[in-house]
Chains A and B, each alone.
Chain A
């Protein structure tokens, strides 16, 4: 009955210390789980992990497996040292799409744990770097059963491989006063418009959507998403002057100078007024605040420092940046502004954002090289070609500064200038 445990002297060291230990958790499964399969699998995986710690090498190999009807969503793992640790020689991970904002009821997490226990190793992660729930450790016999069971009660696989990947959204309008958009709706409209592209990898490489409700960008969308949606607003921010006064006195108390108005004001000068990147805020002698909204760039700093006194405006919408990605292959790229502002209120707005995403993905699928992210394609072909390809007009918000090299062919200048004036005229007429 008692299975022989692989020795784990190095991993045991990771049971010491105050931070919760994943090793203690895995050992608990190995030693105390009623299901023999789980005890064995976790024993094997601990043995292999110890072997990695000793030799400083990894021993998993990929492959191709998926559930019936899909082409992706599972990260296959076959052990290279399966002869040494046969109990975990197959240890596949199922990537499951969480709801936007990662909300769960305790009941639902228990239900998922019960299902996973029937089929898998009993190990899971909330969440992987792409944003999936990772159910880590299933063998080839069992992953289909697990998927069928959780798929029946509302869960679906995320993306793996060259496909539209699982999206990520911040806590958003559900609990954050900084939110400027309906992250839940945007996330689901976009992702569920592309379920086919999530489940059947057929794109040049991965494509990620991430939604942050404000420019604090808690989802790291600009830097990590091919298609970043950032909530913003375009009217004036709201200033509650009474709360500005309160904030000054409260700050004075916080820094140990209770009742010292001058100290509170000094803190505001040092930490709010002088930190505004465009010098757009003024603290007046009577402790009111004046904002030059036409020069506010919605950086969020003053709102972060004074959440009670300052609020975002009412004319909310989103900015869309495209082409962000991590290192492979040409180095890190931030996304570039493609849509400076877009309302996200009506059904038509949602249709428009879905159409835009489809256009971008189609253009990239057509023009991207194998294993080339959208941002790398933009870098290779130039932003202008990309804009023409997806039918978006140039906008000065897309650039940090105009070109500084004169080596460019400009024989279309007159037409381009005329188009600009025409567009401006149309915008003016539309606004009137």
Chain B
């Protein structure tokens, strides 16, 4: 068999210029400014005077070939055959002819792809794989995103927010989903359930012991078989032991819940990049529409929209009004679980008399 195997061509990352719109190739590095004619549309002007219009639309991220071809048909019929995808799985069509913008927008909207996601909108949630494909998911991602974007579509299509809102989801606490102004992440609340009959055969036990962030796992003999045991008082239920050792089942239909974090901001604009902060937990992992999580997200967005000044990202708004007021205006409970006790925790405590009354 091996003789017939084809040697791979290790070409690595392909050359992007071959897929760029010719106007973009010609004006590479020579852009002067851009304007935002309407939500979901950008026009960039080069030093040469050439212009390129971009139309951005939301997609379902998990694309089937029919939908992909439909998007390409739109790109050929109404666009100029060149597209790209944003980090949040929005598709962008680039055209040199401004007359094509409105028909392109209409074609996308008619085909069910909302146009928007630029400037001070709520753009598509970036998301992970979830139950559809991940080996350690506590929830689904595509479903959560679909359910939330159904409710937030007007915020995607409009410019109603003080600044851009980036949202993310993660299906486990390892958190592939990244930072967001609002992040909806899995939170486990019980230690893993261990299938002792399987651990010895499946898991490399020293690696699993080393993986635990709080040293709560140790080797043990259970029923005469080599296994692992968890000090449940120390365990923080993070699930880090589960990927290298699937018999340490962390997911649970009841005790795998959702938590909401806010204020993650990767831009350096105005302030330095910030991490997201826990605001709400104990939210049921409730497919197929996760209404409880969506309700909290909408409430936070509404308070932000009403309370923040122009250009304030979520973290800047909270920094200005203070966390006590955040909990007051959103009506979310403040609990002992909001108080950091991880390494470096005291940096997160208030060591001043800066208190609002």
A: residues with CB less than 8 A from B are: 10-11, 13-14, 16-23, 25-26, 28-29, 32-33, 42, 45, 49, 52-53, 55-62, 67-70, 75, 77, 91, 93, 97-110, 113, 116-117, 122-130, 134, 136, 144, 147-148, 151-152, 154-157, 166-168, 170-171, 173-177, 179, 182, 184, 187-188, 191-192, 195-196, 198-199, 215-224, 270-271, 275, 277, 297-301, 304-305, 307-308, 311, 326-332, 334, 369-371
Contacts and interface: CB of A to CB of B under 8 A. Distances in A.
Contacts of B270: 275, 277, 299, 301
Given A105-B81, A331-B342, A25 B63 contact: yes
A304 B178 contact: no
Nearest to A369: B210
19 contacts: A20-B114, A25-B66, A28-B67, A49-B132, A56-B253, A57-B251, A69-B7, A91-B133, A99-B18, A102-B85, A126-B85, A175-B44, A192-B13, A196-B10, A199-B10, A215-B268, A216-B268, A311-B32, A330-B213
A300 B272 CA distance: 11
A134 B47 CA distance: 37
Given A60-B135, A77-B133, A326 B178 contact: yes
B200 interface: no
A19 B269 contact: no
Contacts of B210: 369-371
B133 to A, nearest CB: 6
A156 B12 contact: yes
A226 to B, nearest CB: 14
Contacts of A134: 129
B146 interface: yes
Contacts of B146: 14, 17, 19, 21-23
B211 interface: yes
Interface stretch (B169-177, B222-230, B296-304, B326-334): B169-177
A104 B275 CA distance: 33
Nearest to A182: B29
A99 B15 CA distance: 6
B83 A124 contact: no
Given A17-B150, A103-B84, A168-B87, A175 B52 contact: yes
Among A105, A117, A166, A299, chain B packs the most CB atoms within 10 A around the CB of A105
Given A20-B113, A151-B11, A188-B15, 16 more contacts: A10-B287, A20-B112, A55-B253, A57-B131, A58-B138, A58-B251, A68-B7, A98-B13, A102-B84, A156-B8, A177-B44, A215-B268, A224-B266, A271-B311, A275-B311, A327-B175
Contact of B66 (A28, A105, A148, A277): A28
B357 interface: no
Contacts of B136: 58
Kindly list the 6 A-B residue pairs having the minimum CB-CB distance in the complex, ordered from nearest: A17-B150, A99-B16, A52-B131, A25-B64, A215-B268, A56-B253
B126 interface: yes
Contact of B131 (A53, A182, A223, A301): A53
B76 interface: yes
B198 to A, nearest CB: 12
Nearest to A170: B87
Contacts of A53: 131, 140, 143, 287-288
Contact of B17 (A10, A148, A184, A370): A184
A224 B63 CA distance: 25
A384 B332 CA distance: 43
Contacts of B135: 58, 60-62, 77
A274 B254 CA distance: 49
B34 interface: yes
Given A53-B131, A148-B6, A184-B16, A106 B75 contact: yes
Given A52-B140, A125-B89, A175-B31, A195 B10 contact: yes
Nearest to A113: B65
Given A93-B133, A108-B19, A56 B285 contact: yes
Given A129-B126, A175-B94, A307-B34, A26 B62 contact: yes
Contacts of B143: 14, 53
Contacts of B66: 25, 28-29, 32-33, 122
B237 to A, nearest CB: 13
A272 to B, nearest CB: 9
Nearest to A232: B268
Contacts of B87: 127, 168, 170, 218-220
Given A125-B62, A136-B62, A97 B6 contact: no
A136 B133 contact: yes
Contacts of B28: 173-174
B268 A124 contact: no
A284 B238 CA distance: 54
B72 interface: yes
B305 interface: no
Nearest to A12: B288
A327 B13 contact: no
B59 A20 contact: yes
B315 interface: no
A179 B34 CA distance: 12
A198 B267 CA distance: 28
B310 A70 contact: no
B129 to A, nearest CB: 7
Nearest to A53: B287
A100 B311 contact: no
Interface in B71-130: 72, 75-76, 79, 81-87, 89, 91, 94, 112-114, 126-130
Given A19-B149, A215-B267, A68 B131 contact: no
B17 to A, nearest CB: 7
B147 interface: yes
Contacts of B24: 174-175
